[in-house]
């Protein structure tokens, strides 16, 4: 069964917002992301922001770091 674009978007939105909630609850992780982006935002965007799955996955790495 093929998923509709709406279903795909809904799933991607859920994953993305769950990651935002996780990282927002971890001040050190959020600070780490901010520091990293302050040095590499342009490259990071090119490498990881080209689709919802990649963006969510990369943010999840920052959210799950033990800092």
Residue entry with tokens 């080209």: 50
Confidence grade of residue 8 (pLDDT, cut at 50, 70, 90): very high
Domain boundaries, the chain: 5-64
Q: 52: closest CA among 21, 23, 13?
A: 13
Q: What is the pLDDT of residues 16-35, one digit of tens each?
A: 999 999 999 999 999 999 99
Alpha helices in 1-67 (DSSP H): 5-24, 27-48, 52-64
Q: Tens digit of pLDDT for each residue in 32-56?
A: 999 999 999 999 999 988 899 999 9
């Amino acid at each position: 069964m093929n998923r509709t674009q709406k279903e795909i978007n809904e799933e991607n939105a859920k994953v993305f917002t769950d990651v935002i909630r996780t990282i927002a609850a971890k001040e050190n992780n959020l600070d780490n992301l901010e520091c990293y982006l302050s040095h590499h935002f342009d490259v990071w965007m090119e490498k990881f922001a080209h689709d919802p799955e990649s963006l969510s996955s990369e943010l999840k790495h920052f959210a799950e770091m033990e800092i």
